Amino acid sequence: MIIIALILINLILISFFNFKTILIILFFECLSGLISFAFLKRKSLGLYKFSSSQRIDNSNINDIQSDKYYQKLIDHFDFPIFFLDKNLEIKIQNNQSILSYGKNTSLPVSSVIRDYEFIENIGKFKKNPKFNNFIWKKELPERKTYKAQLKYFNNFIVLQVLDFTQENNSKKNQELYLTNLTHELKTPLSVIIGYLETINFHEFSLEENKSFIQIINSKSFEMKNLIDQMLKLSEVENLVKTKIKINVFETINRSINNYRELFKKKSVTLITDLDSSKNLFIDFAPNDLDIVLNNLLSNALNYSESNTTVTVFANLNIKKNQIEIIVKDQGIGISSDNLTKITEKFYRVDKSRNNLIQGHGLGLAITTEILAKNGCRIDISSDLGKGSAFKIIFPLS
Ligand code: ADP
């Protein structure tokens, strides 16, 4: 359209002016055309510069507009980011880093992140840029682990500070879990191997050999129990089960009947107060409440002396709108500092105290996991030397 218009204008000009004037006009038209072309080209290059990812690399870092651009960009991230110069002084910070460390432009980063391990590692990076990835711990009371990642970018060094606490803890927990499991399996296995070697000697009487076989048998069962508990724990942690309606009274009675003889044998009196639970129903995964009750009853029996009493109550707490099952013993009790730990996997209070009682410290871990999966919880209270009470709470919606 523009070209057609130009041709028409030129034709009109030819008819009005002489040849010399037309040449001059054409010269100026070409000149202005060239200038416009050059201007448009610069502008389009500029646009390209600001719309491509390469733009960042090409842009001039001293340009105020670039700093603002970087600032805007890094403000989108929800972890601290610092742009440092070659002396590791802070030049640009994102909002999250200002929130965590305050606004500290022009200060060396080592005077802003004051954790000893960070300062040591950033010093290493200064000497050797290969040390551009490191972890450090923040001391008490935070007890956090952070990960630093440093990358060169134009004339900047970009430092990202990532919260690594969870990854670090879960890695540590996994290692601990594996160490505990290996230890728990190794102990009975060594006993089994030891007795098997002894039997091979043929030096002992039939009676003696029989007693060795009994030990082998009980240790094998111990190992099987541990493996069953591990499988149960993994099942509870990973499987989502459909809940069914469960009658509280019937379930508790079923568990208690399994234990009656064992309580009698140890001369521990078992008292129940369950009448008010006869018509109470809860939504729970099939068989899981039996596992919870069996764990609590077997602990009450194991950690009680003879001639003491274990009481099991169940009732509807109208005030709190919840159903409660309580297993209360007059056993050895648990100190307050151990109370928070006994639900951890493999935790056993004072192993020497428990030496004669079989167990791997998994029962309460399974119990709490099952209860959590079913929307319930456990409250544990205890008086060292006097006894403990384990209260299962089923909130009613
Ligand atoms: P365990 O197989 O060792 O009994 P649990 O997870 O059931 O494993 O219990 C963890 C620890 O908590 C036990 O080793 C014991 O020290 C303590 N404990 C649990 N129940 C009782 C209780 N009723 N009285 C005293 N201590 C208990």
Q: Which of 32-36, 63-67, 353-357, 366-370 has the highest mean pLDDT?
A: 366-370
Can you give the C-alpha Rg of the chain in angstroms?
38
Domain-wise residue ranges, the chain? 2-70, 77-163, 166-239, 241-397
End-to-end Cα distance, the chain: 75
Is the N-terminal amide bond of 141 cis, ω within 30° of 0? yes
**pLDDT, position 198:** 84
19 has a pLDDT exceeding 70: no
Classify 166-239 by CATH class: mainly alpha
Tokens of 69: 């651009």
pLDDT confidence band for 26 (50 / 70 / 90): low
| Residue 359 CA, closest ligand 1 atom number | 2
pTM of the model: 0.64
pLDDT score of 391: 98
CATH code, 241-397: 3.30.565.10
**Angle, in degrees to the nearest 10, between helices 165-200 and 206-238:** 160
Q: Whose CA is nearest to atom 7 of ligand 1?
A: 363
pLDDT at 54: 36
pLDDT in tens, 81-124: 999 999 999 999 999 999 999 999 999 999 999 999 999 999 99
Which residue, among 295, 293, 300, has the nearest Cα to 246 in the 3D structure? 293
Choose the weakest-confidence range: 29-43, 162-176, 283-297, 332-346. Answer: 29-43
pLDDT at residue 12, as a whole number: 62
**Mutation to probe ligand 1, out of 299, 347, 370, 378 (largest number of atoms < 8 A from CB):** 299
Label residue 350 left, alpha or beta by phi (over 0 means left) and psi (-120 to 50 means alpha).
Answer: left
Q: What is the pLDDT of residues 113-171, one digit of tens each?
A: 999 999 999 999 999 999 999 999 887 677 789 999 999 998 899 999 999 988 888 88
CA 180 – ligand 1 centroid, Å: 16
Distance in Å, CA 202 to ligand 1 centroid:
40
Whether the CB of 387 sits within 6 Å of ligand 1: no
- The architecture CATH gives domain 77-163: 2-Layer Sandwich (3.30)
Residue 331 beta carbon below 6 angstroms from any ligand 1 atom: yes
Helices (H), the chain: 2-16, 19-51, 54-58, 64-74, 95-101, 116-127, 165-200, 206-238, 248-265, 288-302, 336-339, 351-354, 363-373
The CA 342 to ligand 1 mean position distance, Å, reads 7
Beta pairing class for 81-84 and 156-163:
antiparallel
Tell me the average pLDDT across 189-203: 86
Question: What pLDDT was estimated at residue 45?
Answer: 40
Ligand 1: does its nearest atom lie under 6 Å from the Cβ of 222? no
Query: What is the mean predicted confidence (pLDDT) over 242-263?
Result: 96
Ligand 1 pocket residue status of 354, Cβ below 6 Å = yes
Q: Which atom of ligand 1 is nearest to the CA of 300?
A: 23
Higher-confidence residue: 315 or 22? 315
Assess whether pLDDT exceeds 90 at residue 209: no
